[in-house]
Amino acid sequence: MAKSGDEAVILSISGKQAVLMAGKHICNGEYADMGGKMLMLKCADGNTERSAGKVTLGADGKTLTVDWDALAKNDTFVKATSPSDLPSGLPTSLPSGLPTDLPSGIPTDLPTG
């Protein structure tokens, strides 16, 4: 988990697969060795800020820095194994202004089969 400005950036890597959530952007792709560890991601909304980056592991084994090709700054992620490991200042509540007027008149007798 990292913090960029006032938003959380969450990165999850499992084997060669990677998922990144940065604000409203959700991206997935590969964590691959291309002469150096790289993240190659594609965001569902077409955003390209964090689509490719060089990964450097911290000497302490708890940090990982990504030098994104399209951003002027890097993200430094802290490995989180419990809530106390997370950086301070991350958002703890849902955003305001979410819609509350759900549609009515939705059919409940849909065909099954």
pLDDT tens profile 51-108: 999 999 999 888 999 999 998 889 999 887 666 655 555 555 555 666 677 677 767 7
27, pLDDT greater than 80: yes
| Phi, then psi, of 15 in degrees rounded to 5 | 65, -120
Per DSSP, the three-state class of 57 is: strand
- Three-state SS for 111? coil
Q: Where are the domains of the chain?
A: 2-83
**Which one, of 26, 11, 5, lies nearest residue 77 by Cα?**
11
| Per-residue pLDDT tens over the stretch 87-101 | 555 555 555 666 677
Mean residue pLDDT of the chain comes to 83
pLDDT for 53: 95
